Structure 1
């Protein structure tokens, strides 16, 4: 990110065509600097994330500590919720049946009601802010991802 005294960065460095979030013009507004820094981190996969951490958008799992974050907010997950979220994340954009979820989370088949309650609890924690990441495909199962608008 560049801090520029000019209206455009092109005036400073001819030929350079940065994205809109690559520079901030003086006088700076702290909120704008923070928003642009977040945009840069999102666009580059979040350089603050250590290598190998599974993530989808602003959702990050830390398998070494079994903790999850959505943006800057820590998600307080139960072990079953964490295993479910890990499975959804590992299969992002793919629908998982209730049978697949039950066998992965508990190692055995569970009644559909138990799976629906677990998904509902996880959804309340993960999808507290937009965009919603956990979705239902009626008659098929659940999936993690951003639906096409």
Structure 2
């Protein structure tokens, strides 16, 4: 209780320094990263890009025409740096549209070809199937020893040709 003002200030500074040291620093929470697009929605994303390409192409054409009509260097038959850059970007956009169109056509042809021709495996099963085979498979009858089943023919050898070589 009997403390001078100077001693009280020193004690207060000592207590504040230790208290500040003991306090936890302020936490700054970072936002969670956005999860990647699920696989089943990737095709939808590509279709959105394809639907924007014609708009971008039209916009690039309009920009080039607007620049040509406003630029004195481009009107005189030459090309300024900005006009050249716009024409390069227009060409890149046209190439992108052409690539996408070719990819869509290729995918359509592939889909049409797959739908038009039955699968090879299904055709093979159809060759060897039928009601006769189905009835024979479902038949539950005893067979005599030495008899041929419906699935074998008399030309099928049941014994080896050369017994000595087989031994």
TM-score by length of 1: 0.20
Q: Name which one, 1 or 2, has greater alpha-carbon Rg.
A: 2
Higher helix share: 2
